[in-house]
Amino acid sequence: MSQSIDWQVEVLRIVGFAWPEGDNDVSTLWADVIGEEPDYRQVREGEVDVCGIKHANGMLFLGIYPDRVEWLYGSERKFKEDSAYTGFPIIGGLDEELRVITDIGERWLRSSKMIRLRRMLFGGTLLKPAESLDAAYQYMQELSPFLDMKALNNPYDFEYQILRELDCETLDDQIINRQCKWEVVRLRRSGQLLPPRQQQIALEQSGFATQLKLALRTEEKKAVALPQSKLPDLIAELVSLARDVSEKGDLVD
């Protein structure tokens, strides 16, 4: 089974969707959580305020939007063009990088500017570089053991996406929507990832990878704000579910 797949991280994110009522002032959130001046700053009044800094093995961004707060951690090369770069835009192994993003999440929850939330999301994009197209599809087969890739008419133009609804163990009044998408991508020498259906324009490929995109988000059964005391356990549950998918593939339970 796919426990043998040593996933590499392209990007991980934690998103908190603001409860519409109450004090949602996050003007000093970056300073509260990071404490250093950002290397990057983009501000559009009333629309977005994004700060970024080199952190751990990649770049860390905080995006403040009218309806949400988003922490984004990923490869520096993911966020800027570099024509000389020929490798996959990865920052490190899944276990190590999960510790980085969850540490940021915990700091956020302890900050003085932690706002009330109506929903929370944990997600990311993982890559497993492969030596060949066949090897990349073999990894994909491991993640989807109920599929017979050999029986497909054209397995080299195949992607699999599914959304499952799970009961939330942390909160009785919440469900978790688990969205997973698997496909094989080919890397151009410019560093751009392409799905197989666009491979004909990637004449100078330098490798293949199985790609897993994950999004685990809460959906309220009734209109209630998430209890602040439960948020650490909720983040831990979402991260655990993501890890389960990376190790076991698409399982109903």
Is the overall model pTM greater than 0.85, yes or no?
yes
- Contact assessment for residue 78 and residue 89, using Cβ atoms and an 8 Å cutoff: yes
For residue 226, is it within any domain? Answer: yes
Strand locations in the chain (E): 8-18, 40-44, 48-55, 58-64, 68-74, 92-93, 117-130, 159-167, 174-188, 193-194, 205-220
**pLDDT for the residue numbered 203:** 36
Query: Is the residue at 120 inside a domain?
Result: yes
In this prediction, residue 144 has a pLDDT band, given cuts at 50, 70 and 90, of confident
In this predicted structure, the answer to whether residue 23 has a pLDDT above a threshold of 80 is no
- The SS3 of residue 176 is strand
Residues 186-240: tens digit of each pLDDT: 886 545 666 655 444 333 445 899 999 999 999 977 788 999 999 999 999 999 9
pLDDT value for 205? 44
Asked if residue 234 belongs to a domain, the reply is: yes
What does the block give as tokens for 244?
């389960």
User: Residue 112: inside a domain, yes or no?
Assistant: yes
Whether residue 185 lies inside any domain: the answer is yes
User: Of the candidates 95, 134, 89, which has an alpha carbon nearest to the alpha carbon of residue 247?
Assistant: 95
The pLDDT of residue 69 is above 50: yes
Residue 6, class by beta-carbon neighbours within 10 Å (0-12 exposed, 13-18 middle, 19+ buried)?
exposed
Q: What is the pLDDT of residue 141?
A: 83
Which domain covers residue 97, as residue numbers?
A: 2-248
Handedness of CA 105, 109, 111, 112 (dihedral sign): positive
Pick from 167-176, 197-206, 242-251: least confident: 197-206
DSSP 66-129: SSEEEEEEE-GGGSS--TT--S----EEHHHHHHHHHHHHHHHHHSTTPPPEEEEEEEEEEEEE
The chain-wide mean pLDDT, for the chain, equals: 85
Q: What's the gap between Cα 12 and its chain centre?
A: 4
- 130 inside domain: yes
Contact present, 212 and 143 (Cβ < 8 Å)? yes
Task: Report how far residue 113's alpha carbon sits from residue 44's, in angstroms, rounded to the nearest whole number.
Answer: 20
89 in Cβ contact with 75 (< 8 Å): yes
Residue 139 within a domain: yes
Q: Report the alpha-carbon angle 136-142-145, nearest 5.
A: 135
- DSSP reduced 3-state for 56: coil
Strand bridging mode 8-18 / 92-93: antiparallel
The structural domain count of the chain equals 1
pLDDT at res. 85? 57
- Digit-coded pLDDT (tens) for 76-125: 876 665 545 567 889 999 999 999 999 999 999 999 888 999 999 999 99
Whether residue 132 is contained in a domain is answered as: yes
